[in-house]
Amino acid sequence: MLKYIFKRIIWMPVLLLMVSLIVFFLGVYGPGDPIEVQLGNNYDQESADRIREKMGLNDPVVIQWLNYVRKAAVGDFGESYVFKNREVSELLIPKLIVSAKLNIISFVIAIAIGTPLGFYAAVHNGTVRDPIVVIFSLVFYAMPVFFTAPFLILIFALQLDLVPAAGWGGVFDKRIILPAITIGIPGAAVFVRLIRSSMIEVLDTDYVKLARAKGVSENKVLWKHAFRNAMLPVVTIMGFSLAGLFGGSLIVEILFGIPGVGRISLDSVYSRDYPVIMAIVLLGSSALVVANLIIDFLYTLVDPRIELQ
């Protein structure tokens, strides 16, 4: 198993190199140019060329890419083109931490609400309670954040005056409540549906029937035999949610005034701030690779029959 993990880990840099190459070339050969965006209508060929020269943007693309990779390998992601004299890491790290904190809380909310409800619906499959839970979760799932966010602000900040309308103070600040719920609720709905369908499938298997037939108590059937098996697909989804931990939700961040990574991700694309785009993409790819690894590992815990090799 260690060998397996080791193999996966040495593949990582290769994957990241490929990702960086693709993103780099897309940036260079796609339309638009960082210098041009900043010059706006003051653009003139001469000054643009001068600035490009200074920033090394006139070098052959492969050279630029190699330079980038060489520095990135030792953790130097360069300076932002837009935010002058600012290291990309200096720009991104505080924002990534904020987004991660918010995402973790939202994730906990999603699991805490989603798992019991999904379980409840599955156990009551065939009664009216099941479709009620499913319908509710679908309704919540279907509500876009640009609806729920202002709605929550209107009720809890403006009408009831329980929390401020916007701002950020970390995990233990009450201002995290509304945004975490906004992100967590649709997430909970996903878990409800997933766990429900997975449970229903498992409850219909022969080994559960056998367990029941031999008189194992219902509680034990549900928890020991069914639930653990039903968790397998859930783990996959959880893993991928973890990969998205450092991703920001643009709309939620904007509406609740959270200094996360969502807005800078989008802005960097529009302003062609390549160093920032690269860092975000590379980070996202690494997170996905790592999450995959963790998922595989978790499989072995949930289902001992699975072996990594």
Partner 1 sequence: MFSKFKIILLSVFLFIMFSCGSDEISEENSSVGKSSNVAPGLESNSGSSSGSKENVFRINFSDPPTFDPHLVTDTTSASIIVEIFSGLVTLNKDLDIIPDLAESWEVSDDGTVYTFNLREDIKFSNGENVTAQDFKWSIERSANPDTGSYNADVYLGDIIGVKEVIDSNGGIQEVEGVKAIDDKTLEITIDSPKTYFLAKLTYPTAFVLSQKYLESMGDDWIDSPVGTGPFVLQEYQIGQILKLKRNDLYWGEKSKVDGVIMNLAGGVSMAMYENDEIDITGVGLADLERVKDPNDPLSKDLVDVPPQFTLSYIGFNVNMAPFDDENFRKALSHAVDKELIADKIYSGLTKPAYAVIPPGFPGYSPSINGLEFNPELAKDYLSKSKYSDPATRPRIIVTIPGTGGSPGMDTEVISDMWRETLGVEVEIQQVEWATYLQDMNRKRLQVWAGSGWQADYPDPQDFIDILFYSGSDVNHGNYKNEKVDDLILEARTELDQNRRFLLYNQAEQIVVDEAPIFPLWFDTDGYALVKPWVKGYSFTPIIVPKYKDMYIE
Binding site for partner 1 (CB under 8 A): 31-33, 35-45, 47, 50-51, 54-55, 82-86, 90-91, 94-95, 145-146, 150, 153-154, 157-158, 161, 164-168, 250-251, 253-260, 263-264, 266-267, 270-272
Distance separating alpha carbons of residues 299 and 101, to the nearest angstrom: 26
The DSSP symbol for 40 reads G
Q: Which amino acid is at 58?
A: N
DSSP readout, 145-208?
HHHHHHHHIIIIIIIS--S-SS----TTSGGGHHHHHHHHHHHHHHHHHHHHHHHHHHHTSHHH
Distance separating alpha carbons of residues 109 and 185, to the nearest angstrom: 8
Length of the chain in terms of residues written = 309
Distance separating alpha carbons of residues 106 and 171, to the nearest angstrom: 11
Q: Which is nearer to partner 1, 119 or 256 (CB)?
A: 256
Q: How far is the CB of 44 from partner 1 (least distance, A)?
A: 4
Q: Which is nearer to partner 1, 46 or 206 (CB)?
A: 46
Q: Which is nearer to partner 1, 73 or 171 (CB)?
A: 171
Q: Which is nearer to partner 1, 36 or 204 (CB)?
A: 36
Q: How far is the CB of 280 from partner 1 (least distance, A)?
A: 14
Q: How far is the CB of 147 from partner 1 (least distance, A)?
A: 9
Q: Which is nearer to partner 1, 83 or 240 (CB)?
A: 83
Q: How far is the CB of 91 from partner 1 (least distance, A)?
A: 6
Q: How far is the CB of 82 from partner 1 (least distance, A)?
A: 5
Distance separating alpha carbons of residues 279 and 240, to the nearest angstrom: 20
